[in-house]
Amino acid sequence: MDLLARREHSRLELYQKLKQRQFEPDVINSELNKLLDEGLQSDERFAEAFLRSRIDKGKGPNIILSELSQRGIDELIASNVISNITDEEWNDLAYEAMNKKLRNEAELDYDKQLKLMKFLSNRGFTRSQIEKAKNLLKKNLAGLNENK
């Protein structure tokens, strides 16, 4: 119960932590089922909280899906949580991450574009999201340069 007081945990995370504390698997499963029945543990709630925390860190949908899977979240639950974020929102998040990485540089040469695209790919954004973010960034930089 102390583990859930700090933050949401997936069932797998709780199972692993209790196993490390030398509890028997039957006892762990029984207690986890009780927590689930009482609404104190929910993989759906965990996935939603996890999604928000990763979005706040500038992560994209591909990496979030992978991390949810590593934490034992069912693929259907993970997909449903990810689909709650619109394509437009993912594009905006990719743009924000790219813009933040670029800082205040006014030029976006080919090498910088490649580095930024690789950066976003490593963050888990899709090719489409990266392209849209890059195009928006180029458009905004062109507008800034025209106003100078």
- Residue span of the structural domain in which 132 resides: 87-146
**pLDDT number for residue 145:** 58
1 in a domain, yes or no?
no
2 in a domain, yes or no?
no
* Contact between residue 62 and residue 126 where contact means Cβ atoms under 8 Å apart: yes
Average pLDDT over residues 22-46: 94
DSSP 108: -
Q: Are residues 104 and 137 in the same domain?
A: yes
Q: Which of 4, 88, 94 is nearest to 49 (CA)?
A: 4
Helices 87-102, 110-122: crossing angle, 10 deg rounding = 130
pLDDT digits (tens, 9 = 90+) for 55-95: 999 999 999 999 999 999 999 999 999 999 999 999 999 99
79 in a domain, yes or no?
yes
Give the pTM. 0.86
Q: Are residues 73 and 120 in the same domain?
A: no
Among the candidates 58, 83, 108, a domain finishes at 83
By CB neighbour count within 10 A (0-12 exposed, 13-18 middle, 19+ buried), where does 34 fall? exposed
Q: Are residues 133 and 72 in the same domain?
A: no
